[in-house]
Amino acid sequence: MTSPLWTSDEIAAATGGRASQAFDVTGVTFDSREAGPGDLFLAMPGSLYDGHDFLDKAFAGGAEAAVVSRPIERPHVLVEDVAAALEALGRAARARTSATVLGVTGSVGKTSTKEALFAALDRGHPGQVHRSVKSYNNHTGVPLSLARMPRDPTFAVIEMGMNNAGEIAALTRQVRPHLALVTAIAPAHIENLGSEEAIADAKGEIFEGLEPDGIAIIPNGTPHRDRLVKAARRHADRIITFGSGDADVHAVHAVSSEGGSLISAALLERELTFTISQRGDHWVSNALAVLAAVEALGEDVAVAGLALADMGGLKGRGARHRVALADGEALLIDESYNANPASMAATLKSFGEEREVVRRIAVLGPMRELGAHADALHAGLAPAILDAHVDRLILISDDMRPLAEAIVGKVSFDLVDSVGEATGLLTQILRPGDAVLVKASNSIGLAALVEAVKEGAPCST
Residue numbers belonging to the annotated binding site for ATP:
106-112
The rounded distance, in Å, linking the Cα atoms of 310 and 325 is 28
Q: Cβ–Cβ contacts within 10 Å for residue 218, how many?
A: 31
Binding-site members are: 106-112
For residue 435, the SS3 value is strand
Helix axes 281-296, 110-124, angle to 10 degrees: 40
Handedness of CA 287, 291, 297, 299 (dihedral sign): positive
What are 131's strand-pairing partners? 157
Q: Under a CB-based contact definition with an 8 Å cutoff, are residues 239 and 232 in contact?
A: yes
Single-letter amino acid, residue 419: V
Backbone phi, then psi, for 216, in 5-degree steps?
-110, 130
The rounded distance, in Å, linking the Cα atoms of 413 and 425 is 11
Backbone phi, then psi, for 75, in 5-degree steps?
-55, 135
For residue 119, the SS3 value is helix
Alpha-carbon dihedral angle through residues 420, 421, 423, 426, given to the nearest 10 degrees = 180
Q: Which residues contact 136 (CB under 8 A, 6 or more apart)?
A: 142, 144, 145, 159
